[in-house]
Amino acid sequence: MPSSYHYHILIFSLLLIHYSSTTTSSSAASYRPKSIALPVSRDPSTLQLTAKVLQRTPPVIIPLTLDLGTPFLWVSCGKRYLSSTYRPVSCGSPQCTLANAKICKTNNICSTSSLKNPVTNISPPSGGELATDVIRINSINGSNMGKTVTIPNYLFVCAPMSLLQGLAKGVSGVAGLGRTNVSLPSQLASTFSFSRKFALCLSSFPSEDGALIFGDGPYNFASDIDVEVTLPSYTPLVRNPVRPSEYYIGVSALRISQADVPINKSLLSIDSKGNGGTMLSVIYPYTIMETSIYKALITEFDNILKTNYKSKRVAPIAPFEACYDPSTLPYTRIGPSVPDINLVLPNGVVWRMQATNSLVYSTLSPNQSAYCLGFVNGGSNPRASIVIGAYQLEDVLVQFDLAKSRLGFTTSLVPDRIRCSRFKFNSVV
Ligand SMILES: *[C@@H]1O[C@H](CO)[C@@H](O)[C@H](O)[C@H]1NC(C)=O
Ligand SMILES: *[C@@H]1O[C@H](CO)[C@@H](O)[C@H](O)[C@H]1NC(C)=O
Ligand SMILES: *[C@@H]1O[C@H](CO)[C@@H](O)[C@H](O)[C@H]1NC(C)=O
Ligand SMILES: *[C@@H]1O[C@H](CO)[C@@H](O)[C@H](O)[C@H]1NC(C)=O
């Protein structure tokens, strides 16, 4: 428990951080970035996306799995959590309210029941205690370390060690990027007074990092001539009343070559139990679809490929079903060229998934490789009918705007010779 002196300092800093746009607390004042970019790696065995921050005093490197829907940052604390700047959060405090935490534990410690492992969906029965500590983020400048930004009283949740099961090896917790006022993008935005938004650009090369950019662009990429990518399309974010921290969009149809895939449209809306609809999640390596939607999509796609190109279907390569002999597909200079899979959104906006995001090159043995439709069967009762996964976001720039409740997105950057792995980190800080 902090002394009451510390308690008041804590509240004072919190109020400064959240309610002042012109004053800063002393430790955050010296350097105020317009945006902050973090390199994003992919864990080779789980395919989870990870990023690193520094936490505690003295600082420790904390690798975290990224999750779009998790409401806050959580780390396993346990006995090895040593930090002179660690402060538990008291029941009834502004931080407790901000985090919408409703449990009060012994010693007046504010706790939340929303703590959950996004991979296993396991929640510890005792919930998680709220605390604050220093977080530092190393900005990257080209191949050099850039300046370090400091968030003095970062609000996070302490989890038991066992909750790490199912996360990538070496990871200490989850960086929650959710639609809440205590998620990483929200706390960075309020600390540095920049926009409550973040962008993701996932690399399609396993060994090269993509980027997670908090705050405003510009989004600059290295190429023969430096390019700035702007977002051509936006669509409103939809709120799921049961899972308000997740990012949903209003897909009304799936369309291939001007024809709507015949599906049960009621699966595309969110029902009173919070099931159905279309959400985004980078926890899943590939887009998942409710069985009937999945089957309808494969049938339609397969018909078009067979009719238009006489493409030859080959044995499935798990987790995919619709796989094709590579020599029977049409090509352009960037790879196979098949009809786009379009997600139809409100106001005539369409999310075009081109072959770079719809086909996965899969190998069973040296002699057996195929291009497979990169979507996975989600069974008959998934919580969302469509979950747009990481593969469909590779070499695409997506921007999650919490303040404006909208999602901005590009089509694949590959035809423009732009890769997420070439994001210019030194352009943003
Ligand atoms: C990034 O590095 C370049 C060259 O090394 C330097 O000129 C520039 O000032 C650095 N930018 C920041 C924000 O540190
Ligand atoms: C989050 O913050 C915004 C802007 O400060 C505010 O309008 C909104 O009511 C807050 N939401 C919650 C759930 O506290
Ligand atoms: C369409 O989906 C809804 C929601 O799952 C279900 O209640 C309804 O029976 C389905 N309709 C048909 C025709 O399958
Ligand atoms: C793979 O191809 C090689 C040469 O084309 C052949 O000798 C070998 O039997 C093939 N292996 C299988 C498992 O088909």
* Of residues 116, 141, 143, 137, the one with CA closest to residue 128: 116
Q: From the CB of residue 426, how many other CB atoms can be counted at a distance below 10 Å? A: 16
User: Of the ranges 15-24, 37-46, 340-349, 417-426, which one carries the lowest mean pLDDT score?
Assistant: 15-24
Please name the residue that has the structure tokens 């590779």: 394
Look at residue 12 in the predicted model and tell me its pLDDT.
Answer: 39
Look at residue 428 in the predicted model and tell me its pLDDT.
Answer: 57
Q: Tell me: the pLDDT tens digits for 32-56?
A: 788 888 999 999 999 999 999 999 9
Angle at 148 between CA 143 and CA 150, to 5 degrees: 155
Q: For residue 367, which ligand has an atom nearest its CA? A: 4
In the predicted model, what is the mean pLDDT of the chain? 90
Residue 242, sorted as left (phi over 0), alpha (psi -120 to 50) or beta, turns out to be alpha
Q: How far apart are CA 47 and CA 285, in angstroms?
A: 6
Q: For residue 31, which ligand has an atom nearest its CA? A: 1
Look at residue 291 in the predicted model and tell me its pLDDT.
Answer: 98
Highest mean pLDDT (candidates 77-81, 222-226, 323-327): 323-327
Look at residue 427 in the predicted model and tell me its pLDDT.
Answer: 61
Could you tell me the pLDDT band of residue 142, with boundaries at 50, 70 and 90? low
Which structure tokens are listed for 342? 């379009």
Mutation probe of ligand 1 site: the residue of 34, 149, 426 with most atoms within 8 A of C-beta = 426
User: Of the ranges 70-74, 363-367, 416-420, which one carries the lowest mean pLDDT score?
Assistant: 363-367
- Measured by CA distance, the residue closest to atom 2 of ligand 4 is 367
Tell whether ligand 4 has an atom less than 6 A from the beta carbon of residue 365.
yes
Tell whether ligand 3 has an atom less than 6 A from the beta carbon of residue 266.
yes
Look at residue 141 in the predicted model and tell me its pLDDT.
Answer: 56
151 forms beta bridges with 135
Strands ordered across the beta sheet of 341-344? 259-260, 253-256, 341-344, 350-353
pTM of the model: 0.89
Q: From the CB of residue 44, how many other CB atoms can be counted at a distance below 10 Å? A: 11
Q: Does position 29 have pLDDT exceeding 60, yes or no? A: no
Q: Does position 61 have pLDDT exceeding 70, yes or no? A: yes
CA of 233 to the centre of ligand 1 (A): 32
CA of 203 to the centre of ligand 1 (A): 24
- Measured by CA distance, the residue closest to atom 3 of ligand 1 is 141
Q: In the chain, pLDDT over 90 holds for what percent of residues?
A: 82
Tell whether ligand 1 has an atom less than 6 A from the beta carbon of residue 429.
yes
Q: How far apart are CA 115 and CA 109, in angstroms?
A: 15
Look at residue 140 in the predicted model and tell me its pLDDT.
Answer: 61
Look at residue 4 in the predicted model and tell me its pLDDT.
Answer: 37
Could you tell me the pLDDT band of residue 15, with boundaries at 50, 70 and 90? very low
Tell whether ligand 4 has an atom less than 6 A from the beta carbon of residue 367.
yes
Q: Tell me: the pLDDT tens digits for 227-271?
A: 899 999 999 999 999 999 999 999 999 999 999 999 999 999 999
Mean pLDDT of 218-227: 85
- Measured by CA distance, the residue closest to atom 11 of ligand 3 is 264
Question: Which is more confident, 226 or 343?
Answer: 343
Indicate which atom in ligand 1 lies nearest the CA of residue 146.
14
Mean pLDDT of 159-185: 98
Q: Tell me: the pLDDT tens digits for 331-347?
A: 999 899 999 999 999 99
* Of residues 5, 25, 412, 393, the one with CA closest to residue 191: 25
Question: Which is more confident, 417 or 79?
Answer: 417
